[in-house]
């Protein structure tokens, strides 16, 4: 791979989704190709250890622009986290694709981490995009909630708000999320796909990775990062997941 060292320009962007302001950073080297970066549950456009910042800079230096943005209720975007939902995230991503088209991009990919990966999978069939990349994608909402918060169903049925690691989560979030079947949505996707998973992640995600692989329609590539945790916390794992995604995107975008 030809190595370059100069990342593209980084431009703050505000755009509208459902009448609310969303905020993002646009990494651009004036390419005709762009990747939209979707953060995870309780995350933001920066993501853990600034992995999305690093991703945007490396991608743009290599000739693929990137746009990392905050979903409604997260980061710098409008709203409260307690009022967010999977359904809102889906609309936010659709509007981010519209924004990218308005900038003149000819090729658009979506890359999602964790819940952002689930959002990308659930949206992809209805979006006019050219490729999909997921990192540690949430494979099953019900199983995820049970692993994060034992007895979450009892709590959700007896109170309007549940606290998780300092975040307030409205009952409506659970009710909305359980409407979606991520695995079933994945089986319908015929666009080029890359699914990446760390081998040191929790059982929910590792089992989900294998289930995705069993269900996938071509073209689809699967990659495991040995020893990597859920958000690729070490510098080596971050470099690996970013570089492998870039190599794949250069072939498919």
The per-residue pLDDT for range 101-121, each reduced to its tens digit, is 999 999 999 999 999 999 999
For 152-171, what is each residue's pLDDT tens digit? 666 666 778 888 888 888 88
Measure the CA–CA gap between 220 and 29, rounded to whole angstroms.
28
Predicted TM-score of the model (pTM): 0.94
Q: Of 81, 54, 211, which Cα lies nearest the Cα of 140?
A: 211
Longest Cα–Cα distance of the chain, Å, equals 57
Phi, psi dihedrals of residue 33, rounded to the nearest 5°: -125, 145
User: What pLDDT score does 153 carry?
Assistant: 63
User: Which three-class secondary structure state does DSSP give residue 55?
Assistant: helix
């Amino acid at each position: 791979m030809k190595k370059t060292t100069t990342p593209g320009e980084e431009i703050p962007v505000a755009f509208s989704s459902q009448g609310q302001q969303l905020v993002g950073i646009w990494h651009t080297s004036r390419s005709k190709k762009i990747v939209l970066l979707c953060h995870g549950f309780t995350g933001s456009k920066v993501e853990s250890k600034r992995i999305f910042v690093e991703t945007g800079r490396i991608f743009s230096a290599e000739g693929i622009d990137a746009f990392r943005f905050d979903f409604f209720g997260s980061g710098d975007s409008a709203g409260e986290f307690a009022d967010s939902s999977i359904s809102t995230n889906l609309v936010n991503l659709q509007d981010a694709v519209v924004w990218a088209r308005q900038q003149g991009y000819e090729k658009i990919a979506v890359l999602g981490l964790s819940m952002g990966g689930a959002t990308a999978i659930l949206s992809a069939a209805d979006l006019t995009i050219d490729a999909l990349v997921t990192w540690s994608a949430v494979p099953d909402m019900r199983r995820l909630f049970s692993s994060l918060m034992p007895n979450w169903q009892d709590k959700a049925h007896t109170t309007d708000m549940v606290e998780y690691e300092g975040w307030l989560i409205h009952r409506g979030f659970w009710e909305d999320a359980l409407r979606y079947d991520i695995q079933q949505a994945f089986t319908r996707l015929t666009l080029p796909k890359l699914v990446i998973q760390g081998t040191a992640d929790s059982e929910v995600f590792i089992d989900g990775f294998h289930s995705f692989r069993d269900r996938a329609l071509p073209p689809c590539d699967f990659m495991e990062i040995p020893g990597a945790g859920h958000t690729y916390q070490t510098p080596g794992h971050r470099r690996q997941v970013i570089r492998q995604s870039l190599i794949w995107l250069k072939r498919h975008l």
